[in-house]
Structure 1
Amino acid sequence: MSNRDAYEQKLQAKLDELQAEVDKLKAKADSAEADARIEREKEIDELEAKREQMRQKLEELRHSSDDAWDDIKAGAERAWDSLSESLKSARSRFK
């Protein structure tokens, strides 16, 4: 397996884990009071939008040429960092 394939699989696994985390946050939001639920649902929507951007970056990686792969990988890593920070922030507020 090439480094490229391994990286893409690792990124897909991270996205799958993130979806499981978002699903947990949704369950917590459903049990919250009305005002808190609205705020939490907004945060979940933002997380899902960032997750979709990350999924699109992964697709770009999968379909990129070898020459463009390093540049797209750098963009994917920045997107992942942003998504991770958003998830960490949401987790802290959902307790």
Structure 2
Amino acid sequence: MSNKDAYEQKLQAKLEEMQAEVDKLKAKANEAEADARIEREEEIDRLEAKREEMRKKLEELRHSSDDAWDDIKAGAERAWDSLNESFEKARSRFKK
């Protein structure tokens, strides 16, 4: 297995784990009172937009040539960091 393939699999697994965590946040949002639920649903929408951005980067990586994947990998890592940071902020708000 090439480094590219291993990296793709790693990102796909992380993305699937993140989706499971977002689903948990959705469940918590549904339990909240009206005002808090609206705020949490907006936060989830932002997370899902970032997750979609990450999914697109993964697709770019999958379809990239072996020569170009290092450049795309850097963009994917930035997208992952942004998604993860947003998720951690959302998770901390949901604990309130």
Which range, TM-score by smaller chain? over 0.9
Instruction: Tell me what 2:25 maps to.
Output: 25
1-structure distance, mates of 2:3, 2:61: 12
Instruction: Tell me what 1:56 maps to.
Output: 56
Q: Summarize the alignment of residues 1-95 of structure 1 with structure 2, pairs less than 5 Å apart.
A: 1-95=1-95
1-structure distance, mates of 2:69, 2:3: 11
> What is the TM-score when the length of structure 1 is the normalising length?
0.98
1:39 Cα deviation after fit: 0.3
User: CA RMSD, aligned part only?
Assistant: 0.5
Contact 2:15 2:55 in 1 (8 A): yes
2-structure distance, mates of 1:71, 1:43: 30
1-structure distance, mates of 2:3, 2:41: 37
1-structure distance, mates of 2:31, 2:85: 24
1-structure distance, mates of 2:66, 2:6: 15
Q: Which one-letter code corresponds to 1:15 in the other structure?
A: L
1:53 Cα deviation after fit: 0.4
Following TM superposition, the consecutive aligned residue runs of length 4 or more in structure 1 with deviations greater than 2 angstroms are none
Q: Which one-letter code corresponds to 1:45 in the other structure?
A: D
1-structure distance, mates of 2:73, 2:16: 18
1-structure distance, mates of 2:83, 2:47: 7
How many residues align? The count is 95
Structure 1: which 5+ runs fail to align? none
Identity in percent: 86
